[in-house]
Structure 1
Amino acid sequence: MEELLSVYGSSQGVHPSGELARIMIMTGTISMSSQGWNYQPSSLEKHTDSVLGWASALWSLSYYSSPLFLWYLYRKGYICSTKLVPVSQYVGTVLVCLLGVACLRGWGRWKNSEYVQFISVLEETKKTHTPANKKKLRCYDFDFSHWPSDFSWTKVSNPKLSKAGVSLLKPEPRLRGAADSVLNSVRTVPCHIISFLIAHSFGRRMLYPGSVGLLQKAMRPMLQQGQARLIEEFDGQRNKLVACDGNEIDTMFVDRRRDSGQNGQTLVICCEGNAGFYEVGCMNTPLEGGYSVLGWNHPGFGGSTGVPFPQNEANAMDVVIQFAIHELGFQLSDIVVYAWSIGGFTASWAVMSYPEIQAVVLDASFDDLLPLALKVMPDSWRPLVQHTVRQYMNLNNAEQLLKYQGPVLLIRRTRDEIITTAGPEDVMSNRGNNLLLKLLQFRYPKIMTDEGLRAVREWLGASNHLEDASVYSGYEVDDDWCVSVLRSYQADRDVVFPWSVGEDMTLDGRRQLALFLARKYMRNFETTHCTPLPASEFHSPWRL
């Protein structure tokens, strides 16, 4: 009876209302043509579940509005001992009633043969976690907190990994004298406290709106439909991974290695945006291209637990990579990391930490969060925003990407309205430009001198293909010559970046190479930030 009351009755996760969303097939065998159906609850279960669903929604609303509500009650004089006693009695009565409703819903489920069959499959899988039982359980969509763990970080022997989490690049501290440092620490205590409160309240929710429970409830039908499509049409396998911080990560894997196409041998790990879920996110782009794909939800998104702070994000990405290697059987050289928008943080961390990864593709991503945070906050808050971002939300994509030696492709949305600091009409304020310039300046410092930078900035100012081609042809770039120069340098030396190619070259030669490299590392896509990337625009990064 406990399972009947709780498995679909939890107010946490992506399925808070308690319904069994879809039953794929009752036999537990899934094929590409399999079509599921919606679970049909009894009348008693349906009505009691509706009551509990409304109660959960009202609780979420009261949680976010509680500061204003408590302030209103205080101003009206309702917060006093004489008036709190009746309120507590009323709340206790409501809780007892809700408990009774939950019991009635459990009784309704007990009388439903389909639900009882599901419970038997779940209990059998928990007792014996065999592949056959896991396949049967994957036929059902239910509250992910009750899903048995499929992979844990403890299964991998990694001396560098502990419960403290994986390593992140920390912002460099300012150098001060000892006395000055102590005085400054005392002076900045209020700033530290305020920054902590901002980051752990509205700051985190502004940065990752997909972690807000109310938004997930509103998107629930869309997420269920997307998940059903991945399972029914693509034979997707849902798995729960346990990261080193204890967070449970919700993943979906589509295996194309049995297909005849070469793309199926490559695994694309997808990192979603700040309101993206693998059910409806960028995972669809490599799927249409015929790749094997592994999608995952940020901590606090969908079935994943936790909150999406940088440390938790990196911990989640690490266990996803370990799962791909040790459980799915891919080599690091078979993996391409593909990220959209804010997913560039975990993607750049992945290639920095696992340099053997084949390549990385960053779509509509940025170099650093701080300029974008300053854009949306008042100027008077500037010191506080700087401190909050650097201490708690330091998404330093460019800094991490520079540690990677492999192929990189940046996709810039020329009408991007999210990662621009001066509006979508000013393509030069797109922070993807800064990501490209920092990468080129690090890898090819002798080419990216003042002349090379000036030519690349002129090319970045092009907002469509015609302007792009005009700038490129205006500098008379000879692609064959550029390739021969780079190959000659590579053949004579077995070196890692940065390269010194271009140090003895003419101004015209450096400009040609700078434009050639910019066009190879970045592709323009004439659309807005949230437009799904077509499979035709998803390419393997350029290799010399």
Structure 2
Amino acid sequence: MPFHKYLFTPRLFKEYDGTKDVYEPGTLEKYGDQLLTALNLMWSLGYYTSPLLITFLYRRGYFVADSVGTLAKFGTGIGLLVAFSLCMRGLGRSMNVVYVRFAECLENAKRGSQDQDAAKSTIRRYDFDFRAWPVDFTVTSSVQRAQAPRNKPLWISSLPCQILAYLAIHTFGIRMIYPGSVQLLQSYIEPMLLQGRTKVITQDKGRRNKVKTADGNGIDTMFVDNREKGANGRTLVICSEGNAGFYEIGIMSTPMELQYSVLGWNHPGFAGSSGRPYPDQDQNAIDAVLQFAITDLGFTPENIILYGWSIGGYSTLYAASQYPDVKGVVLDATFDDVLQLALPRMPESISNIVKIAIRDYVNLNNTELISQYNGPVMLVRRLEDEIICSDDGNLGTNRGNFLLINMLKCRFPNIFKPEQENLAKDVLSKPLEFLRNDSEDLCLSLLMSYLSDNGNNGTSRSYPIEIGDEYSSEQRDSMAKFLIKKHLQDFKSTHCTPLPREFFQQPWEIPSDTDFVFT
């Protein structure tokens, strides 16, 4: 391969050759890459602090004609340093036998040879910068539904807030909501991501794939196939991580322990995934992952469970709203509306800007999405959650409570009257272990009989269910407690503790009278 091609070849991390060692670059490659990495981090830092930096340079008089020469010399110096670093790194790579072998394999895979499967199989022996990874699956069209336009305040009267909200979200705001997209953080945890990825690939036979979305982003995914290991393996669990979570060190481990087949992915802008985690890009990403699972991996929606942790609950519920036939949804430590978490954490003086920024650009409203999905849902609530509670230490302010209540109100409107809604808030202000209900068998029987008698063919996927219109307040209370216990689990933990395997359960749905026997 000619020397000039080594100037822009990707960084190599590891060769899966049976050893535990990572790739060791030579001296020239190592220092050339370190210089380029340092320059890239300086650029990122300058971008994040650009308002302060521009103000500082302006006050020092750098934006006048006399300073053009100084700025030109500075720019030329940086350009020469970049060119020198590229040449030094390229020379080092061209002299390294391991890297030359990798570069030739990558070139063959990109060339589109006749035996593409063999070429991709060879590429999977290496771990390298995912931007250079060949695309494994491409989405040709998105199933994304048209969103109804939101009513906005008068444009002229709100123009200053609109401008500030736009600037905030498109500079530091999206990175505050999704800190995992910050390059500095990714550089810090890169060794941990490589270690986690290596474990999944070598011990669990994971297969890495690049999925190209409808908007052109490349999404980094990891698939563990357990279909040959038992009944659980025939169900695929698609894992959506939190705002600083990565599949390499995230929630995949819990369903993997239970021998499910598992598909993990990283949000746009996280690790190997390109783009930025704005809602439209995140929606296209999870849609592409679902299409990949169905079309390429061969799972039907009826054999797919969607599993989301924290802000990943938004991705999960969006996918459920677009693929209503999925087997079920598991939501761990998630919220009803991100605005309700943002407002208590921001100064009241800028609350109007926060509202516009969230509603117009990052409207992560899980309550709206969960009402569009009629399948079974299980929520896991962390009793010591310091993130999802709007008032730290107050279980009654856990935003998962409000997501559950809103879902049950939508599904059982005649049960959750205002009185029962207040009861639910009181019940959920304490751990579920204090909830007592002696009528669980009766409640289940009433639900099954109602579905059977009202033409639902024994299925609960036709919400709303109008049971309870003639019930007394006490009967509604009993049914409300029953439904809360069937849709919620308590886990005594903080926000980031890995979920133990016993808490990952397939969501409950009302059984049909054909597969249930009363005793």
* TM-score normalised by the chain length of structure 1: 0.89
Tell me which residue corresponds to 1:432. 400
Q: Note if 1:82 corresponds to 2:66.
A: yes
Q: Select the residue among 59, 73, 97 that pairs with 2:43.
A: 59
SS of 1:38's equivalent in the other structure is coil
Q: By how many angstroms is 1:47 displaced? A: 2.4
C-alpha distance after superposition, 1:53-78 (max 9, x if no partner):
22222222222223212212222233
Tell me which residue corresponds to 1:456. 424
Q: Note if 1:516 corresponds to 2:482.
A: yes
Change (3 A) 1:444 1:2: farther
**Counterparts of residues 210-359 of structure 1 (less than 5 Å):** 210-259=180-229, 261-359=230-328
User: Quick check: 1:477–1:515 contact (8 Å CA) kept in 2?
Assistant: no
Change (3 A) 1:435 1:112: same
> Mean Cα displacement is larger for which, 295-304 or 381-390?
381-390
Tell me which residue corresponds to 1:23. 15
User: Quick check: 1:35–1:232 contact (8 Å CA) kept in 2?
Assistant: no
C-alpha distance after superposition, 1:241-270 (max 9, x if no partner):
1111111111111111121x2110000001
User: Quick check: 1:367–1:431 contact (8 Å CA) kept in 2?
Assistant: yes
Tell me which residue corresponds to 1:153. 139
User: Quick check: 2:217–2:268 contact (8 Å CA) kept in 1?
Assistant: yes
Q: By how many angstroms is 1:172 displaced? A: 4.2
Q: By how many angstroms is 1:393 displaced? A: 0.6
User: Quick check: 2:397–2:429 contact (8 Å CA) kept in 1?
Assistant: no
Partners of 2:93 and 2:177 in 1: CA distance: 39
C-alpha distance after superposition, 1:256-291 (max 9, x if no partner):
1121x2110000001111111111111111111111
Partners of 2:352 and 2:34 in 1: CA distance: 47
AA paired with 2:249? V
Q: By how many angstroms is 1:41 displaced? A: 1.5
Q: Note if 1:539 corresponds to 2:500.
A: no
Tell me which residue corresponds to 1:29. none
**Counterparts of residues 494-505 of structure 1 (less than 5 Å):** 494-495=455-456, 496-505=462-471
SS of 2:49's equivalent in the other structure is helix
Q: Note if 1:195 corresponds to 2:179.
A: no
Partners of 2:54 and 2:353 in 1: CA distance: 27
AA paired with 1:441? K
User: Quick check: 1:3–1:119 contact (8 Å CA) kept in 2?
Assistant: no
AA paired with 2:272? G
Tell me which residue corresponds to 1:4. 6
Amino-acid identity (%): 43
SS of 2:330's equivalent in the other structure is strand
Q: Select the residue among 136, 139, 144 that pairs with 2:125.
A: 139
Q: Select the residue among 479, 486, 490 that pairs with 2:451.
A: 490
Q: By how many angstroms is 1:168 displaced? A: 5.5
Partners of 2:419 and 2:58 in 1: CA distance: 65
Partners of 2:44 and 2:157 in 1: CA distance: 37
Partners of 2:433 and 2:49 in 1: CA distance: 53
Q: Select the residue among 51, 55, 58 that pairs with 1:71.
A: 55
Partners of 2:305 and 2:160 in 1: CA distance: 44
Q: By how many angstroms is 1:126 displaced? A: 1.2
Partners of 1:470 and 1:337 in 2: CA distance: 29
> Mean Cα displacement is larger for which, 232-241 or 503-512?
503-512
User: Quick check: 2:48–2:171 contact (8 Å CA) kept in 1?
Assistant: no
Q: By how many angstroms is 1:42 displaced? A: 1.6
Partners of 2:36 and 2:418 in 1: CA distance: 64
Give the number of equivalent residue pairs.
Answer: 501
User: Quick check: 1:57–1:214 contact (8 Å CA) kept in 2?
Assistant: yes
User: Quick check: 1:477–1:516 contact (8 Å CA) kept in 2?
Assistant: no
Q: By how many angstroms is 1:35 displaced? A: 4.7
Partners of 1:345 and 1:171 in 2: CA distance: 19
C-alpha distance after superposition, 1:389-443 (max 9, x if no partner):
11101111111111111100011111111111111x1000110000000011111
Partners of 2:104 and 2:145 in 1: CA distance: 42
Partners of 1:269 and 1:471 in 2: CA distance: 32
Q: Note if 1:167 corresponds to 2:145.
A: yes
C-alpha distance after superposition, 1:472-528 (max 9, x if no partner):
1xxx43221111111111111234111111222232221111101101101111111
Q: By how many angstroms is 1:98 displaced? A: 2.5
Q: By how many angstroms is 1:197 displaced? A: 1.1
Change (3 A) 1:65 1:455: closer
Partners of 1:385 and 1:58 in 2: CA distance: 29
Q: By how many angstroms is 1:470 displaced? A: 3.1
C-alpha distance after superposition, 1:351-395 (max 9, x if no partner):
111101110001011111111111112212222221211110111
Tell me which residue corresponds to 2:514. none
Q: Select the residue among 407, 414, 433 that pairs with 1:469.
A: 433
Partners of 1:512 and 1:3 in 2: CA distance: 71
AA paired with 2:15? I
SS of 2:131's equivalent in the other structure is helix
Tell me which residue corresponds to 2:87. 103
Change (3 A) 1:119 1:251: same
* TM-score normalised by the chain length of structure 2: 0.93
Tell me which residue corresponds to 2:439. 478
**Runs of 4 or more above 6 Å deviation:** none
AA paired with 1:120? E
User: Quick check: 2:332–2:380 contact (8 Å CA) kept in 1?
Assistant: yes
Partners of 2:362 and 2:243 in 1: CA distance: 13
User: Quick check: 1:7–1:143 contact (8 Å CA) kept in 2?
Assistant: no
SS of 2:155's equivalent in the other structure is helix
Partners of 2:270 and 2:435 in 1: CA distance: 43
User: Quick check: 1:285–1:533 contact (8 Å CA) kept in 2?
Assistant: yes
Q: Select the residue among 351, 355, 362 that pairs with 1:386.
A: 355
User: Quick check: 1:171–1:390 contact (8 Å CA) kept in 2?
Assistant: no
> Mean Cα displacement is larger for which, 449-458 or 118-127?
449-458
C-alpha distance after superposition, 1:69-98 (max 9, x if no partner):
221222223332223312321331232133
Q: By how many angstroms is 1:230 displaced? A: 1.0
> Mean Cα displacement is larger for which, 359-368 or 133-142?
133-142
Partners of 2:473 and 2:286 in 1: CA distance: 43
Partners of 2:223 and 2:119 in 1: CA distance: 18
Partners of 1:215 and 1:170 in 2: CA distance: 36
Q: Note if 1:399 corresponds to 2:365.
A: no
Q: Note if 1:411 corresponds to 2:380.
A: yes
